Amino acid sequence: MPTEREFLDFAAGILGIPPPEAAMSLSCGSIPQWDSVMHIRLVLELEEHFGFQVPVGEIAEVKTLGGLYGYARTGK
């Protein structure tokens, strides 16, 4: 299970933002870099890196880094 910091640092790298700006509360649409297209890429990259998979029906529903971290923590 990744630590919160590891998770946020990796997400910041994909989003192209400085790591301190990546917080669990950051959500899709709240910054210009994280649009709906980036959302798909972010989910895919996080899934691959941390070894989890978001069910298809939930991909568009999980909007925050905190929400995605929940999947990474439980590993599914």
Partner 1 sequence: MKIAVLSNASAGVLAGMLRPRHEVWIPPGWGAWAETAASPPREMLAFAPAAIFLALDPAGRNPGAGGVLERAVASLESAFPYSEIFVLDMPALASETGPSFFDPRMAAVAGMPWSLAGLRAIAAEIDRFAGMLQGGVKKAVAVDFDGTLWDGVLAEDGLDGISPRPGFQKFLLSLKERGVILVALSKNTPSAVECVWSDPRMVLRKEDFSCLRIGWSEKADNLAAAARDLNISPSAFVFVDDSPAERERMKALSPGTAVPDFPVSPDGLPGFERMLSRRYFPRLRTAASSSGRAASYAAEAARRRAAEGLDPAEYLRSLDMRIDIAPARPSDVMRLAELSARCSQFNVLTSRRTAPEIAALAADPRHVVLAVRAADRFGDYGTVAFAIARIDPGARAEIVDFVMSCRAMNRRIEFSVEEALEKELSARGVETLFARRDSTPKNAPVENLFAEFGFETVRVSGPSAFYRRRLAAGPSPAAPCPSASPAR
Which stretches within 30-74 are classed as H helix?
Answer: 36-50, 56-59, 65-74
Q: Which helix (H) or strand (E) holds 9?
A: helix 4-15
Nearer to partner 1, 31 or 59 (CB): 59
**Closest CB 14 distance from partner 1, rounded Å:** 10
**Closest CB 44 distance from partner 1, rounded Å:** 4
Between CA 58 and CA 3 the distance in angstroms is 23
Nearer to partner 1, 21 or 48 (CB): 48
Binding residues vs partner 1 (CB under 8 A): 37-38, 40-41, 44-45, 47-48, 56, 59-60
